[in-house]
Structure 1
Amino acid sequence: MATVTMAGVAAHFGRDIERTLAKLPGVIEQAREKGVDLLVLPDATIGGYLYDLQHPSVEVDSAPRAVGLDGPEVSAVAALARDMTVCFGVAERAVVDGAEVRYNTAVCVTGDGILGTHRKVHLPLGESDVYRAGDEFSAFDTPVGRLGMLIDFDKTFPESARSLVLDGAEILACLSAWPASVTDRSDRIRNDRQAHLFDLYDSARAAENQVYLVSSNQTGVLGGLRFLGQAKIVDPAGEIVAKTWAKGGLAIATADVSASIARARRSLNHINQRAEHAYRCTTSV
């Protein structure tokens, strides 16, 4: 595909899965009407995010309902996607060593089914009370090119995005349920410390790897958390080329992804010019 139209979604998705599945056809159809090839929905699209980051609970009404990747919820989104590549977040129900566990998972689908998944590796604050951490970053092929996925806090760590780019990813899909600061609240989201960091990480991860980054996020309020929105498209120079700010909507941009990356890397190629022999081991302190 020579050019790709990418869209990051800022929208509110709560606990009511049936309501979400009734809402998604409108969101996906709006994107289709605008010619979108890659649509990135927020983290926790299916079932919503946690109510509280400090002391989350796995009680039925407090934690998102976990669903199987082979279940009707994922199949419903795939059917809606048809020829579009769609990324979205779920609380994944899985069985590990005979025990049922829950992961915070990003899923990428087309009408043909699941193309790739990513289980959130970095769990901030109390997330580890609810989710098990994933253990890898892997890119995969899609109709829009080779793609890698991150889930909100993952993008705080440069190694996450770099691992995906070293695995061939040309587009990073960053799915978030990223709230405003819970410790240093601002009257205006635009002035919030977390709003600044959210944009900073998006631009840094795109620029240092010279790839496109599509960032989605939840909006509105869920429990004690107020989400930032700020869906965006970032180009290989780290420039934000489309953004929703705090309100819901689609951030859309079209680009010849491979050509843009080649142009960005023509003189300064951050991947090929790494000096691995000079880097200290990052697996220990």
Structure 2
Amino acid sequence: MAAVAAEFGRDLEQDFVIVEKLVDHARSAGAALLALPEACLGGYLLSLDGASDDPGPPALELDGPEIRRLAALAGDMTVVAGYCEQDGDRRYNSAVCVSGDGVLGNHRKVHQPLGENASYDSGDTFRAFDTPAGRLGMLICYDKAFPEAARALALDGAEIGVCVSAWPGSRTNAAADLAEDRWKRRFDLFDRARALENQVVWLSANQAGTFGSLRFVGSAKVVDPGGDVLADTGVEAGMAIADIDVGRALEAARRHMGHLRDRRPDTYPAGAPRT
């Protein structure tokens, strides 16, 4: 499995050049599943203050030619990528999962940080779905800050969680060394916690470099169901690659202490996931 930290911008054709190189690299490394960052097709927002002079990324339709192009590049692999989704007069910050057979799943970002709601409508569901790599659930960036989101996917049978992000460094008291940034620390903590508490394999992809006023923390990684990081790019652009047997990893993690099995939903407050 592979997760990417890379820099993407508004030039969609250039983004596809980068995607093709990354897919080829992952395929040559034997990866069956590749996670690309949030907004890798068309770039993210220039800032998070709702700046009105930012036209935003190009809006793509789920059944449009760009997503079909992505599926063709995926071929025998399963690929997750972020894009701006057009649905009628609404735009969503979305992630799509494809293989050479077409679209396997789509997720619209539910939790919107700061001024992101000025550019996108919000999604309203968390669903897992079957892929050649295993049953998978997707989150986008700020979604992973909410334990209920990842838990909803795990309760829907997700064996693999994929979170694609455009997660920047702190806007205040920014660290000179991005590796020491407090928002990077939170990014990493959320990845490990979501994997451990749900005992799932976790892939985290992120933008790298800079875009507009944002400086991204990179830190793509693969995390096992015990919360241990198997591969990590650090703050630089790169690809985290790990060899993991999903079924065996889940069985080992859940054999004695099964966090999903041992839940007591009858004791939890109203509104908590109870399935």
- Asked if TM exceeds 0.5, the reply is yes
Deviations 1:229-270 (A, max 9, x none): 000000000011100001111101111111111111111100
Report what 2:194 is aligned to. 205
Report what 2:32 is aligned to. 37
Cα offset for 1:86? 0.2
Counterpart AA for 1:215 = S
1:142-221 → structure 2 map (5 Å cutoff): 142-221=131-210
Distance in 2 separating the partners of 1:268 and 1:173: 23
Is 1:241 the equivalent of 2:240?
no
Runs of at least 5 residues in structure 2 that lack an aligned partner in the other structure: none
TM-score, L = length of structure 1:
0.94
Is 1:270 the equivalent of 2:259?
yes
Counterpart AA for 1:38 = L
Report what 1:106 is aligned to. 95
Q: Secondary structure at the match of 1:216?
A: strand
1:83-94 → structure 2 map (5 Å cutoff): 83-94=76-87
Distance in 2 separating the partners of 1:143 and 1:255: 14
Aligned residues: 272
Distance in 2 separating the partners of 1:25 and 1:155: 27
**Bigger shift: residues 153-162 or 67-76:** 67-76
Counterpart AA for 1:147 = L
After the TM superposition, which parts of structure 1 deviate over 4 Å for at least 4 consecutive aligned residues?
Answer: none
1:18-97 → structure 2 map (5 Å cutoff): 18-57=13-52, 59=53, 62-95=55-88
Q: Secondary structure at the match of 2:94?
A: strand
Is 1:7 the equivalent of 2:11?
no
**Percent of aligned pairs with the same residue?**
52
Report what 1:252 is aligned to. 241
Whether contact under 8 Å (1:56, 1:63) holds in the other structure is: no
Distance in 1 separating the partners of 2:183 and 2:242: 24
Cα offset for 1:192? 0.5
Cα offset for 1:56? 3.4
Whether contact under 8 Å (2:93, 2:109) holds in the other structure is: yes
Whether contact under 8 Å (1:56, 1:130) holds in the other structure is: no
Distance in 1 separating the partners of 2:40 and 2:66: 11
Distance in 2 separating the partners of 1:277 and 1:24: 46
**Bigger shift: residues 145-154 or 177-186:** 177-186
**Bigger shift: residues 13-22 or 149-158:** 13-22
Counterpart AA for 1:125 = L
TM-score, L = length of structure 2:
0.97
Runs of at least 5 residues in structure 1 that lack an aligned partner in the other structure: 1-5
Report what 1:3 is aligned to. none
Q: Secondary structure at the match of 1:255?
A: coil
Cα offset for 1:183? 2.0
Cα offset for 1:184? 2.3
Deviations 1:27-48 (A, max 9, x none): 1101110001000000001010
Whether contact under 8 Å (1:37, 1:84) holds in the other structure is: yes
Whether contact under 8 Å (2:50, 2:119) holds in the other structure is: no
Q: Secondary structure at the match of 2:154?
A: helix
